């Protein structure tokens, strides 16, 4: 069985918000920070670190 990565991330994110109840500003900061890091000069280093 193959499940798309976007679906897994959506389910994990939904459960995390429902169970842990983080504040909305923290979610916004994490999403914005991830978006900005993905387009920065650090992106190749992060990609190499993750792999």
Task: In whole angstroms, give the CA distance from residue 34 to residue 42.
Answer: 11
Count of domains forming the chain: 1
Sign for the pseudo-dihedral over CA of 5, 8, 10, 16:
negative
Query: Chain-wide mean pLDDT for the chain?
Result: 92
pTM for the model: 0.67
Q: What local confidence, expressed as pLDDT, does residue 51 receive?
A: 84
Task: In whole angstroms, give the CA distance from residue 42 to residue 21.
Answer: 30
Q: Is residue 6 part of a domain?
A: no
Q: Is residue 35 part of a domain?
A: yes
Q: Is residue 9 part of a domain?
A: no
Which range marks the domain in which residue 49 is found?
Answer: 23-51
């Amino acid at each position: 069985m193959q499940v798309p990565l976007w679906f897994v991330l959506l389910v994990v994110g939904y459960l995390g918000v429902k169970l842990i109840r983080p504040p909305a500003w923290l979610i916004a900061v994490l999403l914005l920070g991830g978006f900005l890091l993905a387009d920065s000069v650090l992106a190749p280093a992060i990609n190499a670190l993750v792999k």
